[in-house]
Structure 1
Amino acid sequence: MTTRQHDASVYEEIQTSERFRELRSRFRRWVFPMTVAFLAWYVLYVIMSGFARDFMGTKLFGNINVALVFGILQFVSTFLIAWAYSRHAARKLDPLADELRHEVEEKTAE
């Protein structure tokens, strides 16, 4: 078996392992719902801007209206999601990914 074939078989073995499936599952359980939630929030903003102009144009104070606050909250939510994902990854994904990486490195070094 050539080195390239050996490396491929190691990766295939890791990919079919229970720990890799768990890593993928942890990733998907967090990312998919968060993506749906963020897209729903974004679409709400766009729909409200198009169809609820009176509401979005409501002045809150000075020249600040509901649309501007919603727009700023889009940025805030993006940063909060990025921060939350980095915490999730550090606690739930990275330790398992590191174990799998070390396992691959050991097996490909043989």
Structure 2
Amino acid sequence: MKTMPSFSRDHDFTEVDDGAPDFSAIARSPEFVRLRRRILWFVMPATLLFLMWYLSYVLLAAYAPEFMSQRVSDNITVGLLLGLSQFVTTVVIMLGYVRFAKRRIDPQTEQLRNRVDAVQ
């Protein structure tokens, strides 16, 4: 193994004999830790909000059937609209994450990749 300068400037990481970077050293680097935190900043609130919304729908279906069965039009009920809105919510979260990833995650990932490639 040969020691190469680290992209984090705080420590060196070793190159594995086959020429691959030391992924455990990269995972411990401040840049990677910041990247993971930024991802969690989006994922955790979005997941919690969606689970609360879904649980609300399930609880309404179980404990408020008269509300859920109210007709909005001939064959459309409040329960049907709320159920279909679960799909809409999923798509909105997915589109939000794609936008978030393109603007916030992808540039940092590219910088990290470039630093690792420059060290090799």
Question: Please, what TM-score do these two structures have when normalized by structure 2?
Answer: 0.81
Q: CA RMSD in A?
A: 1.7
- Of Structure 1 and Structure 2, the greater helix share is in 1
CA distance in structure 1 between the aligned counterparts of 2:34 and 2:48, rounded to whole angstroms: 21
Segments of 4+ moved more than 3 angstroms:
5-8
1:38 to 2:50 alignment = yes
Tell me the number of residue pairs that the alignment of Structure 1 and Structure 2 aligns: 107
Q: Flag structure 2 segments of 5+ consecutive residues without an equivalent.
A: 3-14
CA distance in structure 1 between the aligned counterparts of 2:86 and 2:112, rounded to whole angstroms: 36
CA distance in structure 2 between the aligned counterparts of 1:48 and 1:104, rounded to whole angstroms: 51
Q: 1:96: Cα distance to partner?
A: 0.3
Give the share of equivalent positions with the same residue, in percent. Answer: 36
Higher RCO (CA 8 Å, separation ≥ 6 residues)? 1
Which amino acid in structure 2 is aligned with residue 19 of structure 1?
E
Q: Flag structure 1 segments of 5+ consecutive residues without an equivalent.
A: none
